[in-house]
Amino acid sequence: MSSEWTIGIIGGSGLYALDSLEDAQWIGVKSSFGEPSDEILCGRIGDVRVRFLPRHGRGHRIAPGELNARANIDVLKRAGCTDVLAISAVGSLREELPPGHFVAVDQFIDRTKARADSFFGSGFVAHVSMANPVCPRLSKMAAAAVGKGGGKATLGGTYLAMEGPQFSTRAESRLYREWGADVIGMTGFPEARLAREAELPYALLGMVTDYDAWRENEKPVDVSEVIEQMGSNSALARKTIEAFVAALPEKRAPSPIDTTLDDAVITAPDNHDPQLVARLDAVAGRLLRMARGQ
């Protein structure tokens, strides 16, 4: 395992580039799972390698349900990322999480549908644990970095992943509050699932833009409200990313997530589908090399 950090940053709504990157250049990385959202902006902050991918593409071209999350995670793995910090615009389901607040989420409820949510399948079956879906080490550092950037963050919270692209009905918004969800968004899943399958420690910072639709006596969320809040949120997100990278320990200690697939793959090697194995050369590269004795 490498003791050096290569941080993947997935930029959410309003965050389409990182001006603070040194020696930055956009590089196209091909995926065996189709087209990713965009090229990867490769550079560094200080001595740390950073790989930035705008989730919706530059210019916000791709709707949440049309994102190729498999390709996005695959190209970050191919670009050498050791860890991933995702930034995502979210609606708040709690009074104490106002617009402008950041939440380092630690749990998810998945209400998406019809999205490709696994790298594995027939011929190479794997069941990874999602009991604790984010990397606590990254989440703690990310929440602390928000404070260093001048903002406020809550460590821990449940993210309700909805299909979209429409916003919630009031009944849905109230129901999600009863379920214990704290924020709601359209992109956290299957992204977090796929990062775990790719053995990438992953954390998600939710940037609150609105109060969704549960406040009965107030206007529900609309795009104009989200866009208005995104400007200040994105500025804080950039400062947060810089502070996050600057605070990384000089050497990267191993994470249990680095070897997730050791306890997940159930298909015997003799029964592996060669075509699927070929597509998994990055996602499951460590495990496949071990199986070959490399």
The pLDDT of residue 21 is above 70? yes
DSSP 32: T
Q: What is the pLDDT of residue 210?
A: 93
Number of compact structural domains in the chain: 1
Q: Can you tell me the mean pLDDT for 21-28?
A: 96
Indicate the SS3 state at residue 202. strand
Half-sphere exposure in the Cβ direction for 281 (13 Å, CA)? 9
Query: Residue 96 sits in which domain range?
Result: 87-288
Q: Is residue 12 one of the residues assigned to a domain?
A: no
Among 45, 77, 82, CA closest to 245:
45
The pLDDT of residue 226 is above 60? yes
- Known binding residues for substrate are 186, 210-212
Q: What is the pLDDT of residue 221?
A: 78
**Alpha-carbon gap, residue 198 to 141, rounded angstroms:** 21
Higher pLDDT, 226 or 260: 260
Q: Is residue 40 one of the residues assigned to a domain?
A: no
DSSP 226: H
| Residue range 90-122, pLDDT digits in tens | 999 999 999 999 999 999 999 999 899 999 999
Neighbouring-strand partners of residue 10: 53, 86
Q: What is the largest CA-CA distance in the chain?
A: 64
The three-state DSSP-derived secondary structure of 104-168 is ECCEEEEECCCCCCCCCECCECECCCCCCCCCHHHHHHHHHHHHHCCCCEEECCEEEEECCCCCC
Q: How much is the mean pLDDT over the chain?
A: 95
| Residue range 181-220, pLDDT digits in tens | 999 999 999 999 999 999 999 999 999 999 999 998 888 8
Q: Is residue 78 one of the residues assigned to a domain?
A: no
Q: What is the pLDDT of residue 294?
A: 54
Q: What is the pLDDT of residue 2?
A: 65
User: What pTM was computed for the model?
Assistant: 0.96
Highest mean pLDDT among 11-15, 107-111, 122-126: 107-111
By the 8 A CB rule, do 244 and 232 touch? Answer: no
pLDDT band at 129 (very low <50, low <70, confident <90, very high): very high
The pLDDT of residue 289 is above 90? no
Percent of the chain with pLDDT over 70: 99
Per DSSP (E only), the strands in the chain are 6-11, 22-27, 40-45, 48-54, 83-92, 102-104, 107-111, 153-155, 158-162, 183-185, 202-210
Phi, psi of 243 (to 5 degrees): -65, -40
Question: In this structure, are strands 153-155 and 83-92 parallel, antiparallel, or unpaired?
Answer: unpaired
How many residues are listed for the chain in this entry?
294
Q: Is residue 160 one of the residues assigned to a domain?
A: yes
Percent of the chain with pLDDT over 90: 86
For the CA atoms of 20, 24, 28, 33, the dihedral, rounded to the nearest 10 degrees, stands at: -40
The two tokens of residue 38 are 């965009």
- Known binding residues are 13, 55-56, 88-89, 186-187, 210-212
Q: Is residue 212 one of the residues assigned to a domain?
A: yes
**So which residues are the catalytic ones?**
210, 212
Please give the helix or strand (H or E) that residue 21 lies within, else none.
Answer: none
The pLDDT of residue 74 is above 60? yes
Supply the CATH number for residue 215's domain: 3.40.50.1580
Q: Is residue 141 one of the residues assigned to a domain?
A: yes
| Residue range 143-153, pLDDT digits in tens | 999 999 999 99
Handedness of CA 113, 81, 204, 166 (dihedral sign): negative
Q: What is the pLDDT of residue 112?
A: 97
pLDDT band at 1 (very low <50, low <70, confident <90, very high): low
Q: Is residue 55 one of the residues assigned to a domain?
A: no
| Residue range 263-279, pLDDT digits in tens | 999 999 999 999 999 99
The pLDDT of residue 242 is above 70? yes
Q: Is residue 138 one of the residues assigned to a domain?
A: yes
Q: Can you tell me the mean pLDDT for 31-60?
A: 97
